[in-house]
Amino acid sequence: MENATKKKQLKMPHTFVIVGIIILAALASVLIVGFQADVSLLIPLYAVGVFTSFTLSQVGMVRHHIKLREKNWVLSVLGSGAGAIATGFIDPARIGITGLSDGATTARFALINDPDLFVAASVSSCCADGDPLMIYGGPAIARERLDMGFPSVFGAKATEAVAPVSLRISAAKVRAPILMQLADREFIGGLEAYTSLKAHKKPVDMYVFDGEYHIKWQPAHRLAIYNRNIDWFDFWLLDRRDSNPAKAEQYRMWEALDEQRGSH
């Protein structure tokens, strides 16, 4: 009898997962057909889904802590409750995006294909795919990227193929200010994007860190990146500035970028 009960308990989660996957697949198919696979229309739905799941998970944690009343449960309830409130009331006019490596590619894709969704962006690598990597990485890297499914940057339709993720080609579509904080070993791959954004009068700022790799390893550099990210999003999303006198020049540069954007 006990073994039968255990088998039933093990079977229930398995069945629930299978049914859940089928339901999600069906709903995803409906959305793809309904929106005609238009990524610019689907990205906002993704954002709504992300924040909704955050809110529901935080509400679930509140109920969990109240039910179990473990040690320091009151503080846990307050923390999860604050998270539920914060994610449940998202101001669409103050949403930013960040990314490193593949995350930076996702950020660029979003900024190009749904330029009104994000108000500001920060990337810690750029642009480690598409034309810069295939050109500057040499034939071996180019073959590797082609084998991974990336479109060729050397064919007759190369521009059209890479445009959805290329800041160099699609700079005119970008509206959000972009902060680039790059390693000295990689920044050359981002110069095309940076120069193109500048030529189109887009607000962009670049910092290059000496002796760094794809994943920054020096503590002082990582701290500087984290602090500048906070300053960047505070400035563009909240119109807030750090009173530290050492950052005055930084804000003068960003204010000039803001004025330049307002004049175009």
Active site residue 264: no
Q: What is the DSSP string of 36-92?
A: TT-HHHHHHHHHHHHHHHHHHHHHHHHHHHHHH--TTHHHHHHHHHHHHHHHHS--G
H/E run at residue 26 = helix 2-34
Lookup: tokens for 69: 């009343």
Q: Which of 64, 200, 214, 221 is catalytic?
A: 214
Q: What are phi and psi of 116, to 5 degrees?
A: -90, -5
What are the angstrom distances between the C-alpha of 71 and each of 21, 42, 68, 74?
36, 42, 9, 8
Place of tokens 């255990």: 6
From CA 17, how far away is CA 6, in angstroms rounded? 18
Q: Which of 101, 152, 200, 221 is catalytic?
A: 101
Q: Which of 65, 80, 186, 212 is catalytic?
A: 186
Active site residue 214: yes
From CA 122, how far away is CA 220, in angstroms rounded? 19
Active site residue 186: yes
State the catalytic residues. Answer: 101, 186, 214
